Chain A
Amino acid sequence: MPLFSFVIRRLLQMIPTVIFILIVTFVLVRMLPGDPASAMLGDRARDADVNRINHELGLDRPLIVQFFYFAERIATGDLGNSIGLKVSVLSLIMDRLPVTLMLTALSAVIALALAVPLAFVAAFKREKLADSVIRGTFQVGLSMPVFYVGIILLTVFAAQLKLFPVGGYGTTLPDKLYHLFLPALTLALSFSAVLMRNLRASIINVMNAEYVDFATAKGLKSRVILLRHILRNALISTVTLFGLQIGTLFGGAVITETVFAVPGAGRLLIDSIYGRDYPVLQGLTISLAILVSLTFLLTDIIQAWLDPRIAR
């Protein structure tokens, strides 16, 4: 059971990572200039009001005391209450994070659906017209900023052709997927460009490998060669890249959510930074850190499955 012990080992490794992130997050958010009370009350704040609110929030206590209080609550699963929104951080995250997850998952699916077949076409038609067209188109997708692509897609497909709603978020699952399609496509365009280029290069590499020549010489069917020998081996580096890019995808979601008025965690994160809403900022950073760590774990497991030597 090398895979099982590998997963356990990697899960245990996550614990110090999360603790480290906890400390860094706590310190970093407090190093930002300004405090929640000033951010909340804005220009008109009087000193007495600011001091009163900071006292109510316990922000006038020594940092180390604040940290132990915070750690104690985290240990019991309590992320505290949002300073600005006055509701529990956990409920906010449970409300918003699934939206962002669905958006990123959908865009990952779209990106793969675009990248994998087109990478094969480009690799097999290397340096021919089809290759140039595919690579050229993806290059344009990669070069355009996310918000710009978003506005173009919205203007053409939603406002003019009326094929999709202009932003927002649905109520039922099919409705939600319908609302999320354009934002997911926006994110997927640049993501798939990165994946496609990488996969194309790996396929070309693998195609030149001796074991592929050997498989061909053995008289294996081309479909078997393609799936079992070429794709499987070419995917290893793409899976690594895919895992690493998930973090970037979350970053892109922040902008996409604003353009498409999607109530996800990205916008919550931005608002909590501008509002110096420490509990929300801490809660979200920790949740995202755990998610990204889990994505890396999943990437490792898939890699180990693709290439059992990695798990040893």
Chain B
Amino acid sequence: MKNLITAAFAATLLLGTSLSASALERGGTLTYARYADSLFLDPVLNDANVDIWILSNLYDTLLLPTDDGKGVQPGLASDYKLADDGKSVALTLRDGIKFSDGSPITAADVAWSLKRAARKDNGIWGFMIESIDDVTVDGDNKVTVKLKHPDPAILAALTVFNTGIMPQKAFEASAGATEAEKAKSFAEHPIGSGPFVLKSWDRGSSMKLVRNEHYWAKGEDGKALPYLDGINFELIPDDATRILKLSSGELDGAEFIPYSRVAELKSAANLDMQLYPSTRVQYLTLNVRPQIGGKDNPLANPKVRQAMNYALNKQAIVQIVTHGVGTPQTSYMSTATPMHTGDKPLYPYDIAKAKALMKEAGFENGFSTSLLVLAGNQDQLGISTAAQQMWSQIGIKLELQQVDNPTLTKQYREGTFMMRNAAWTDDIADPSEITSYFVYSKTIDALHSGWKNEEADALFEASQKEIDPKKRAEQYAKMQEIYNTSGPTVPLFETPYPVALNKKVHGFLQIPLGNNIFSKTWKDK
């Protein structure tokens, strides 16, 4: 199945390239509707997907993720080499690269940007490059990233938004007394080296980007990318309005099409309904502490959790919630995450087995528990009502508690919840990020579930320093086996990113990590 997806993906890409080669047109502005506005355009200090997914258009990184989101390719650095001992990376910058204001990108800017990103207590993404010890300038266009310990994920980390390269002088000359204030004023008018530059931003309404005249990458016609003159992001939070506006031709593209509308838009004559492979997984997290609020917790029993897994008909939930767009999970990490293992859905629906496991666990008559649902989230409500019915067959009385996000987060962080709905998307082309949150108990108590497995913890710590890809893959296979059989989640399904484009639009891509890639996008006149 995985190979089939990869093949289909490659074929789509090839088709896209061959089509674009035939009739490529430059110029024009793309109007693209987003469901929510960005908040803070600083690569290091941002904290939400609404920023992350468009930052790469403004700030270029030394390396870039490949289109399948699994590998690494040259970016601002034309050449890179990981030392044999795995403790340093030597990078060579491209000749003549410039920031969007025309100033040259120097090795000093690179060293400063990476050190800023790696500094402890500066933003929340530092953990992805916590191995960086120092960054040294070794000539006009050479830098060396020195590591505290071998880090198998360091190359992937150099593609992540928080390692975007910024101009040190322009940043330091920004208004403000402290670094935080400078970051605020800099982020209002960012200077980066991505394919686009922020021209204007009317918060809560629209954001206009124009092409960066100094962008280094070349298009198929041998001239500089991007093909578009600019992008207008329009903020349209309501799903129905976004689709109406797209159908009426007022938009060139719209993100987050509800699953229920995908089939309809696929058959629309003027639209190209795309489902881009993603790393997004949807699951339920169970609190497995032996006691919650002084009461014994049945969810602490691994057999109960297995029973709950078997009693959920995931295929049915995929149909109900995603209208067949999703696929049941085969591991806690998505199939698009590197080192994913597993080729069949976890816990096939088996009510007899579920009942037997409940009996073995001493809960033949079931128990009462509760599930947190994000108020207004139709997907979570669909999943939760389905779970309520399905689990009633094994005697579990499920109370649904609809709350807003901060309330949910509070109960989650305090470990007072019983169960909650959640979804995850990777930010890095490496399994370490998701694993550090889901499996490793020292990050956030394995999704605040209170689950702890000594063997998995030890495997994770070892894998963080293992530079032999084969050995590391074995460690990940083992961690997945442990977690998928006894972990604190009920894995549900993975879904692609549903994006609808006008048929005039070509070459747009949302990679599995979520980044919206507009550099090779063009549209028919």
Contacts and interface: CB of A to CB of B under 8 A. Distances in A.
A binds B: yes
Please provide the 9 A-B residue pairs with the shortest distance between their CB atoms, ordered closest to farther. A34-B406, A263-B205, A39-B406, A166-B245, A263-B204, A261-B236, A34-B410, A33-B407, A38-B409
Contacts of A50: 413
A59 interface: no
Q: Decide if the interface of chain A is mainly helix, strand, loop or mixed.
A: helix
Query: Interface range on chain A: under 10, 10 to 19, 20 to 34, or 35 or more?
Result: 35 or more
Contacts of B411: 33
Interface string B236-247: 111011001101
A159 B47 contact: no
A230 B149 CA distance: 88
Given A46-B443, A154-B244, A169-B205, A39 B237 contact: no
Contact of B39 (A44, A45, A85, A166): A85
A127 interface: no
A118 to B, nearest CB: 30
Interface string A147-178: 00001001100110010011111000000000
B404 A158 contact: no
Contacts of B412: 43
A32 interface: yes
B454 interface: no
B409 A159 contact: no
B204 A96 contact: yes
A69 interface: no
B40 interface: yes
B264 interface: no
A44 B187 CA distance: 23
B203 interface: yes
A100 to B, nearest CB: 12
Contacts, number: 129
Contact of B405 (A42, A48, A87, A259): A42
B444 A274 contact: no
Interface in A244-298: 258-261, 263, 267-268, 271, 273-276
A45 B409 contact: yes
11 contacts: A34-B407, A39-B405, A41-B124, A42-B48, A47-B444, A85-B39, A86-B39, A166-B244, A167-B244, A267-B204, A273-B404
Contact of B238 (A33, A261, A276): A261
B405 A263 contact: no
A166 B250 contact: yes
B337 to A, nearest CB: 16
Contacts of B255: none
Interface string A91-120: 010011000000000000000000000000
A261 B239 CA distance: 10
A39 B444 contact: no
A18 to B, nearest CB: 26
Residue in A33, A50, A96, A165 with the greatest tally of chain B CB atoms within 10 Å: A33
Nearest to B202: A263
Residue in B205, B404, B424 with the greatest tally of chain A CB atoms within 10 Å: B205
Nearest to B240: A151
A168 B251 CA distance: 12
Interface in B28-54: 39-40, 47-48
A158 B244 contact: yes
Nearest to A33: B407
A49 B47 CA distance: 11
B490 to A, nearest CB: 16
Interface string A213-237: 0000000000000000000000000
Contacts of B444: 44-47
Contact of B413 (A45, A155, A267): A45
A258 B237 contact: yes
B437 interface: yes
Contacts of A49: 124
Contact of A167 (B127, B236, B443): B236
Contacts of B68: none
Interface string A120-160: 00000000000000000000000000000001001100110
Interface string B401-421: 001111111111100000000
A73 interface: no
A168 B248 contact: no
Contacts of A96: 204
A259 B240 CA distance: 8
Nearest to A261: B236
B407 to A, nearest CB: 4
A49 B409 CA distance: 14
Contact of B437 (A44, A95, A258): A44
